[in-house]
Structure 1
Amino acid sequence: MPDAQAPCPARALPDSFFDRDAQTLARDLLGKVIRHRHGDLWLAARIIETEAYYLTDKGSHASLGFTEKRKALFLDGGHIYMYYARGGDSLNFSAHGPGNAVLIKSAYPWTDALSGDNSLARMQLNNPDASGNLRPPERLCNGQTLLCRALGLKVPQWDAQRFDPARLYVEDCAIHVPRVVQTTRLGIPHGRDEHLPYRFVDADYARFCTRNPLRRGQVEGKDFFMLEQGN
């Protein structure tokens, strides 16, 4: 698994970072770190997989229309939208434009001076496997509901809220993501714009995401595109 990164200073992303095009935001969130205060611990995970959604996209919740439950999707960029997926919690951030957002699909546990070994242990206790055993770190956050469970994020606490630097924020730890995989999203029903390439994956962490887009049999230029990023 990738080596633990060095400690980084607190650099919480401002709301303006999120008030951008959903695909741009989805790509730029890769490598950023989500921190959530759980008791006296800061639980943390590095974002490795995202999906962009638009109001006009048939696969989006917003395309179904405004409701009180979906109001966060229609608020300014930087609002938190959470919902239940297959019995678990899912985390999204609103982007620029009503109804546009980014789903945080998966992440990788992050440890540093603020979020140390005790934080990682707490995440493992939060998210045991079906037999009650501790999951290895690389399996803790590889899915949208697993991520929320590991970080202790719940729909009733955070849906339609703003970030709070004392409890929950996304941090820029100056991590460079050299290569991004762009491909189609997962779980979109047929006829709901399932062909749109709105899923973005940190290529170096592809084997730890929800479903590896670089697995055997996948063809570059057909099944995915590799985006090179400068320093």
Structure 2
Amino acid sequence: MLQRPLPWPSARPLPDSFFDRDARQVAIDLLGKVLRRRYGDVWLSARIIETEAYLLDERGSHASLGYTHTRRALFEGGGTIYMYYARGGDSLNFSAAGPGNSVLVKSAFPFVDVVSGPESVATMQQLNPARSGQMRPVEKLCAGQTLLCSALNLKVPDWNARGFDPAEFFVDDAGLEPTQIIQTTRLGIPTGRDEHLPYRFVDAEHARHCTKSPLGRTRLEGEHYQLLEGGAVWKEA
């Protein structure tokens, strides 16, 4: 693999080997990692707080519908970007080990550091305004797969079936790790398409900022979700 220069000395782009593992483990380990997207002279950054894993042999996945040119990224090596349109917006996924296995980045939270300052968040708000045209609140900027892609200016024609480019877009290991992870069922899976599989993972600290909080007064631990420690290793139930 061609070694590309780092965009700044402390950058730690995830290698393809990170993604070339069981999709469920990749989904767990992506929590806390930072999406970095260059937009002009500004680096837009968002910390991943919610993911979903998908496998070839289960009916909730796109890959289960078979190979097509549009879905070719799902059948390529780990770390290939797969983007598709969801409810009229763009959606970001990464292929994992084994043909047809992948991880959907469901939501994130704007991340500010020495690389991405307040101007980064302001730019994301310009890219992803509320439907009213007003400025979208920071906590809502990336609270869903299509909102995330809008805020980071990630579009299907530009990135589907591509690899990462540290000069433009990559996933950075910024040394962050959730202390607790919520494991639950995925969202929006139709009845009869393996909707029961617990392949959704949420950084518990940011549960209120994700697509839909898996917590609530009517939801019970052990029945509706499980709590995992940070750095958990995937195990079949």
Q: What code does the residue aligned with 1:81 have?
A: Y
Which residue of structure 1 aligns with residue 18 of structure 2?
Answer: 17
Question: Which has the higher mean CA deviation after the structures are superposed, 8-17 or 145-154?
Answer: 8-17
Deviation readout 1:87-132 (Å, 9 max, x if unpaired): 0000000000000000000000001111111111000000011100
Q: What code does the residue aligned with 1:133 have?
A: Q
Q: Write the mapping of 1:214-225 to structure 2, written as runs, cut at 5 A.
A: 214-225=215-226
Secondary structure at the aligned position of 1:50 is classed as: strand
Q: Write the mapping of 1:1-231 to structure 2, written as runs, cut at 5 A.
A: 9-229=10-230
Q: Is the 8 A contact 2:51 2:103 kept in 1?
A: yes
Deviation readout 1:59-92 (Å, 9 max, x if unpaired): 0000000000000000000000000000000000
Q: CA deviation at 1:136?
A: 1.1
Q: What code does the residue aligned with 2:172 have?
A: E
Secondary structure at the aligned position of 2:121 is classed as: helix
Q: What code does the residue aligned with 1:175 have?
A: L
Distance 2:30 2:89 in 1: 22
Distance 1:45 1:193 in 2: 30
Deviation readout 1:193-224 (Å, 9 max, x if unpaired): 00000000000000000010112211000000
Q: What code does the residue aligned with 1:109 have?
A: P
Q: CA deviation at 1:24?
A: 0.1
Distance 1:9 1:199 in 2: 30
Tell me how many residue pairs correspond in the alignment.
224
Cα distance, 1:225–1:101 mapped onto 2, change above 3 Å: same
Distance 1:42 1:169 in 2: 11
Q: What code does the residue aligned with 2:99 have?
A: P
Q: What code does the residue aligned with 1:21 have?
A: D
Distance 2:89 2:114 in 1: 30
Which residue of structure 2 aligns with residue 5 of structure 1?
Answer: none
Distance 1:214 1:76 in 2: 35
Q: Is the 8 A contact 2:29 2:231 kept in 1?
A: no
* Aligned Cα root-mean-square deviation (Å): 1.2
Q: Is the 8 A contact 2:74 2:101 kept in 1?
A: yes
Q: What code does the residue aligned with 2:81 have?
A: I
Percent of aligned pairs with the same amino acid: 64
Question: TM-score w.r.t. structure 1 length?
Answer: 0.95
Q: CA deviation at 1:230?
A: 5.8
Q: CA deviation at 1:39?
A: 1.0
Q: Which runs of 5+ in 2 are unaligned?
A: 1-8, 233-237
Secondary structure at the aligned position of 1:69 is classed as: coil
Q: CA deviation at 1:229?
A: 2.7
Secondary structure at the aligned position of 1:133 is classed as: coil
Q: Which runs of 5+ in 1 are unaligned?
A: 1-7
